[in-house]
Structure 1
Amino acid sequence: MRTDPPRQLHLNVNILHSGFVPSAWRTEDADPRAFVDIAHYVRVAKIAEAAKFDAVFLADNASIADQIDFRPITALEPTVLLAGIASATTHIGVIGTASTSYNEPYNIARRFATLDHLSAGRAGWNIVTTADLGSARNFGREAVPNHAERYERAAEFTEVVKALWDSWEDDAFIGDKAGGRFVDPAKVHRIDHRGKYFNVDGPFNLPRSAQGQPVLVQAGGSADGRELASRHAEAVFSASQSFDEAASYARELKSRAAALGRGDDAIRVLPGLTTIIGATEAQALRRRDELVDLIPWSYSLTRLAGILGVSVDRLKLDGRLPEDLSLPGGGNGNHTFFHATLAQARTNGYTARQLIRALAGGGGHRVIVGTPEQIADDIEHWFKGGAADGFNLMPDVLPGGLQDFADGVVPLLQKRGIFRTDYEGRTLREHFGLQRPVSRHLETREAAAAV
């Protein structure tokens, strides 16, 4: 009798320049210029590849979205940087963020398809919308488009990108030197898209890649974000503070995807997870406190105020958060981090100071402070309990925090039989256990032949 292979944990590393904790760049071994140094990113990617991670992940901003008087920012364009990482590695996936708010579908389709070819099928596109005013003004807008409009545009944008990637059938490229046939034009198709936001003729100017098309990733916890994910995403970068919340989110998302005919195994749910590791729990807590104490409280309060969408004078370090908080910008700001941060504060009754320390100076994503065994136990619990298919790991400090995880936690996960000891494939789809998408034109051709 045929048995399915055991379910395997998935791990990405989110390379947030010097590390997740805002003070990471101030640690003894850190290079303050790492945020613009490709050697730093390649070094992190090689540690992750040696540990058999699924992918490296890069966030992006189209403006200066942090307080640059204190902290490094996301500066390098992701696909260019990932091309460099891909050339220095052989197996690990390369996932980059690109916004649908201030790009065009053809450009994004081409950028990520190029990365997919250069990496031999290891690319993924993280689909986001952009909610900050600075980005809007960098692209000639006086205001941020409303939340519903941003996601409506994102849904159409994604449909166009997928159609472009699908416009070449797998065997359209021939390359027959003797016969003098290079491409079969009958298998290269215009898409002739006419929509509310985009008019795109096609066809695309690149053949399909080794994995068919880049993996689609999505990061957004709002109702609109979940709708986009359930229709298109193959992996979701989520933010959950509790096991029950994460399990409910994963069940809902997979159920919605199944209802759309995608099957119940179409999406990998990967919550963000920050790890702060010590040989003992006390040592790990001391490491966290030392890192947090290197962050000016004024910086942390301003950052927290930005996540919550309030003026900083409404927050008191040793007082609890205001009771009357509502979604930033009347619902037009970032839903995901607002809800995750507020849930942490309300559940634990934290003051602002306690919340900042519990979040290790960050915002929204869950932080585990402990020994390798404690972290492995937590990961196994979430994984086996259905709250996560894996994690988008955000170590406290890079590369040191990732090396600690690779040396201490990964062997425990491997020993427990839930994480690979070697790569079984070469493409990102193979790492995630995702099917290679069938060309829609092949399906049409086969249906016509059957008739």
Structure 2
Amino acid sequence: MGKRQLKLGLVPTGVGGPGQHNRWLDPEIPGDASVDIDWYIDVARQAEAALFDLVFIVDSQFITPHSPPHYLNRLEPLTLLSALAVSTSRIGLVGTLTTSYNAPFNLARRLASLDLISRGRAGWNVVTSGDAGTAGNYSRDKHYDYDTRYGRALESVSVVRGLWRSYEDDAFPRDRASGRFLDPAKLHRLDHRGEHFSVVGPLNIQRSPQGEPVIFQAGDSEQGRDLGAAIADGIFTHAPSIEQGRAFYADVKGRAERLGRDPDRIVVMPGVSITVGDSDADAIEIEQAERRSDHSFEQALTEFGRSFGWHDFTQYDPDAPFPAHTLEFAKSSFFTNARKLTDLATSQNLTLRQTVETTRKHHPGPFVGSAETVASRIVEWFESRALDGLNIHMNHPAQFRRFTGEVVPLLQERGVFRSGYTHETLRGHLGLPVPSNRRVECAA
């Protein structure tokens, strides 16, 4: 492997994701940005011009009137990424798709199609769906429990990868002289029968220049960490501090190593918001002003229930002790996050208002400051193995321009980030090898 280099991803959330209900009021953001393909193309091209590794499209399939604006009205990830594939040439294209409410064959075919359309730039963020209400949109009375969700995910990824290896790389001679289009000996059925899925195969699409899409995973529970260590090429996470970043990094890579995997072939990329100012004090002032304008307490209170299965917290007195019994509503939702919030509230005797306020983060984030400060902090986290890269949330457009125009050049000067693309595929950008077709090798 070559010299370790920082990876950068862009997370565009249009008119505003969690904690940003009012971001769409920024005059630089079109009111319909989350469904405007021209807006996505523009920001993807900005990221590509800055030599980013990937653009990452988040997704969920259940909403309430209290959901963030971007969640209320947004494009489906693979449809969107297919449009970006023909509008960009080098940047990776990663989308969220759930294993709880998609069949493996359908997942394999759609992702392989994106991988061919983009000539080897596709990635799949594997999720199990945290919004329990999603079940009602797929003919189920209730969401799968945690163990079932993660069991399905592990088996689904195995099936999808098996299907991606249906064809050997030279299975299509396409010889006009002999009239021979396919070498049938190089097409392989899957014949999978497992606990959750039965899939015959083969898949009706060839492999791409990167072999198969890059697999990402995001989950902080024990099951989530185990799943990521077992199946992921990349991990999307959250790291509020360098100490927490180092701890997660060491933990998930240690789990992977114990499973016989090379930990250096797993890229850890926490999602972050970055604020750049003329000075550190200026950046803090910008960040605080944006947080105040983007999200009120009342909006935060209604959104707070998402981790708790969208339980309605507006029914409680915000200045009374946090209602700890509400954790029971999170059992089939984002339970790990709900438990952290509940434990925090009960251990510190917080009111509901104080607990909600902790999610609004009034203290400056770790990447807030002058361009020099932000670049130095990123290098510190990178060199201390708190991360391999960053997934940068595109909040206000002016801030993204400052990052690409002021911080990226400093990262390049310090030798931790590329000064030009050297690969054509997402795997190439991330320093990951092309997966061998082990089913073919075993059959040989």
Give the alignment's TM-score, normalised by structure 2. 0.90
Shift of 1:22: 3.0
Shift of residue 388, structure 1, vs aligned partner:
0.4
Q: Superposed, which structure 2 residues align to 1:18-417 within 5 Å?
A: 18-19=15-16, 21-64=20-63, 67=66, 73=72, 75-294=74-293, 295-307=295-307, 311-313=312-314, 322=322, 324=324, 329=329, 331-335=331-335, 337-338=337-338, 351-352=354-355, 354-358=357-361, 368-397=367-396, 399-417=397-415
Distance 2:427 2:344 in 1: 34
On the 8 A contact 1:172/1:185 being kept in 2, the answer is yes
Distance 1:335 1:287 in 2: 33
1:305 Cα deviation (Å)?
3.8
Tell me the residue number matched to 2:6. Answer: 9
User: Matched residues in 2 for 1:7 and 1:108: separation?
Assistant: 32
Greater Cα offset, 43-52 or 174-183 = 174-183
Shift in alpha-carbon separation, 1:241–1:315, aligned structure 2, 3 A? farther
In structure 2, what is the Cα distance between the partners aligned to 1:61 and 1:69? 12
For the residue of structure 2 that corresponds to 1:174, the secondary structure is coil
Q: 1:170 to 1:220 in 2, by over 3 A?
A: same
CA contact (8 A) 1:86 1:94 kept: yes
Judge conservation of contact 1:133–1:144 (CA < 8 Å) in 2: yes
Deviation at 1:65, TM superposition (A): 5.2
Change (3 A) 1:175 1:430: same
State how far apart, in whole Å, the 2-side matches of 1:425 and 1:404 are: 26
| Distance 1:155-1:71 versus aligned 2 partners, 3 A rule | closer
Unaligned stretches of 5+ residues in structure 2: none
The whole-number CA distance in structure 1 between the counterparts of 2:324 and 2:373 is 36
- How far off is 1:246 after superposition? 1.7
**Paired residues of 2:422 and 2:429 also in contact (CA < 8 A):** yes
Deviation at 1:187, TM superposition (A): 0.8
Contact 2:219 2:225 in 1 (8 A): yes
The Cα shift of 1:134 comes to 2.5
Q: CA deviation at 1:291?
A: 2.4
Residue identity over aligned pairs, in percent, reads 38
User: Once the 2 structures are TM-superposed, how far is the Cα of residue 404 of structure 1 from its aligned partner?
Assistant: 1.7
> Contact 2:171 / 2:187 at 8 angstroms: preserved in 1?
yes
Check whether the contact 1:23–1:71 (CA below 8 A) recurs between aligned residues.
Answer: no
Question: For the structure 1 residues 213 and 328, does the alpha-carbon distance in structure 2 shift closer, same or farther, using more than 3 Å as the test?
Answer: farther
Where does structure 1 lack aligned partners over 5 or more consecutive residues? none
- Structure 1 residues 27 and 354: CA distance shift in structure 2, 3 A: same
CA displacement at 1:376 relative to structure 2: 1.3
CA distance in 2: counterparts of 1:256 and 1:357, whole angstroms: 32
Q: Could you tell me how far 1:19 is from its partner in structure 2? A: 4.8
Between the aligned partners of 1:444 and 1:322, the Cα distance in structure 2 is 57
Give CA-to-partner distance per residue, 1:392-431, whole Å, 9 cap, x none.
111322x333222101111111111100011110000000
| Aligned counterparts of 2:173 and 2:395: Cα–Cα separation in 1 | 49
Q: In the aligned structure 1, how far is the partner of 2:139 from the partner of 2:439? A: 38
> Offset of 1:252 from its aligned partner?
1.8
Change (3 A) 1:175 1:372: same
1:287 positional shift = 2.3
Give how far 1:313 is off.
Answer: 4.5
Q: CA deviation at 1:210?
A: 0.7
Tell me the alpha carbon deviations over residues 131-181 of structure 1, each in whole angstroms, 9 at most, x when there is no partner: 323311011111111111111111111111010001111111211222221
TM-score by length of 1: 0.89
Give the aligned length.
436
Q: Offset of 1:340 from its aligned partner?
A: 6.8
| SS at 2:269 equivalent | strand
Deviation, structure 1 residue 308: 5.6
| Displacement after TM superposition at 1:277 (Å) | 2.2
Aligned to 1:424: 422
Q: Is the contact between residue 96 and residue 126 of structure 1 (CA under 8 Å) also seen in structure 2? A: yes
Alpha-carbon distance in structure 2 between the residues aligned to 1:59 and 1:198: 26
> How much has 1:35 moved relative to structure 2?
0.8
Asked if structure 1 preserves the Cα contact closer than 8 Å seen for 2:123 and 2:215, the reply is yes
Deviations 1:282-312 (A, max 9, x none): 3323322332333332111222343366652
Rounded to whole Å, the distance in 2 between the matches of 1:334 and 1:69 is 16
Encode CA deviations 1:23-80: one digit per residue, 9 max, x unaligned: 2211122211111100111111001000000000001111225625866636211001
* Structure 1 residues 323 and 298, CA gap change in structure 2 (3 angstroms): closer
CA 1:170–1:66: 2 relative to 1, 3 Å: farther
Deviation at 1:315, TM superposition (A): 7.2
Query: Could you say if the C-alpha distance between residues 391 and 103 of structure 1 is closer, same or farther in structure 2, counting changes exceeding 3 Å?
Result: same
- Where 1:393 maps in the other structure, the secondary structure is strand
1:7 to 1:66, Cα distance in 2 relative to 1, 3 A: farther
Distance 1:324 1:352 in 2: 11
Distance across 2 between alignment mates of 1:110 and 1:165: 8
